[in-house]
């Protein structure tokens, strides 16, 4: 959870303190659904920037024990499963950051949950293409090691590691989100150069992305990935970056 908080701080610093590259106050949102809220850092910041909003934060893991402003409520939910949200329960904004790429049967979950945006409301999705850096990465990270093992593991449960790259087309394929705006950025894993915000984001992203060496090694041990490989993988990431796609789409009104 500390990892997620630190990454949230570095990511919003990179966005000049904003919650999202999208201008959020244009709607004066009353109800926001935050999918896969993690540590709660995004909804907590949202209550200060959008004080009139009621925020429902959902995750399959509980929130850490921390102070929550009164306008946030939390719901345990597995986004891969139907039934946690009523289909006619609409929100002015539905937001998910770095979440859908983890969710089993990603595309089905995404299509189902996008329907919770009210007509005229905003869908905001920020996600990665976890395959983007493997062409430039070192030998342990490459397709014959880490990538192929992670991909096997994700494929087995229908989780899409490239979800970020595909998000614009998946939104366009929904009938009622006609305009999709996309901002692509490169999120570094190391210290990059003269931009302070990127230099803060790099180390935070590396920790966010890997967790601990032991957790990577444990997760992939059944596929033959060793702790030594996990250490090497962490080292190799230093000079790389991962593509992030920030997508924003307004749901059409019946009158549009």
Ligand X SMILES: C[S@@+](CC[C@H](N)C(=O)[O-])C[C@H]1O[C@@H](n2cnc3c(N)ncnc32)[C@H](O)[C@@H]1O
Interface positions with ligand X (CB under 6 A) = 4, 8, 36-38, 41-42, 59-61, 77-80, 97-99, 102-103
Minimum CB distance to ligand X smaller for 212 or for 226: 212
Minimum CB distance to ligand X smaller for 78 or for 238: 78
Nearest approach in angstroms of CB 111 to ligand X is 15
Contact 10, 201 (CB under 8 A): yes
Point out the residue whose Cβ comes nearest to ligand X. Answer: 38
Nearest approach in angstroms of CB 39 to ligand X is 6
**Cβ neighbours for 156, distance < 8 A, ≥ 6 positions apart:** none
Closest CA to 171 of 124, 227, 240: 124
Nearest approach in angstroms of CB 121 to ligand X is 19
Minimum CB distance to ligand X smaller for 60 or for 184: 60
Element (H, E) at 43: helix 41-49
Contact 117, 89 (CB under 8 A): no
Hunting for tokens 């990179």 — which residue is that?
14
Distance separating alpha carbons of residues 68 and 71, to the nearest angstrom = 8
Hunting for tokens 């992305």 — which residue is that?
209
Nearest approach in angstroms of CB 110 to ligand X is 11
Minimum CB distance to ligand X smaller for 106 or for 141: 106
């Amino acid at each position: 959870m500390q990892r997620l908080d630190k990454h949230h701080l570095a990511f919003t610093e990179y966005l000049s303190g904003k919650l999202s590259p999208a201008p959020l106050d244009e709607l004066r949102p009353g109800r926001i659904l935050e999918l896969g809220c993690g540590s709660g850092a995004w909804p907590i910041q949202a209550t200060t920037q959008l004080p009139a909003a009621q925020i429902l934060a959902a995750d399959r893991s509980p929130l850490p024990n921390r102070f929550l402003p009164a306008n946030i409520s939390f719901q345990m939910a597995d986004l891969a499963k139907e039934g946690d949200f009523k289909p006619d329960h609409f929100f002015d904004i539905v937001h998910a950051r770095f979440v859908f790429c983890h969710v089993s049967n990603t595309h089905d979950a995404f299509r189902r949950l996008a329907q919770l945006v009210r007509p005229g409301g905003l869908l905001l999705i920020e996600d990665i293409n976890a395959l983007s850096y493997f062409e430039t990465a070192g030998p342990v990270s490459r397709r014959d090691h880490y990538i192929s093992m992670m991909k096997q593991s994700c494929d087995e449960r229908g989780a899409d590691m490239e979800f970020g790259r595909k998000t614009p087309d998946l939104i366009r394929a929904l009938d009622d989100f006609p305009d999709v705006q996309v901002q692509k950025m490169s999120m570094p894993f190391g210290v990059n150069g003269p931009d302070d915000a990127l230099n803060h984001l790099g180390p935070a992203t590396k920790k966010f992305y890997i967790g601990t060496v032991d957790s990577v090694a444990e997760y992939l041990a059944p596929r033959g990935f060793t702790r030594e490989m996990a250490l090497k993988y962490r080292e190799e990431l230093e000079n790389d970056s991962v593509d992030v796609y920030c997508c924003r789409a307004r749901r059409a009104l019946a009158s549009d």
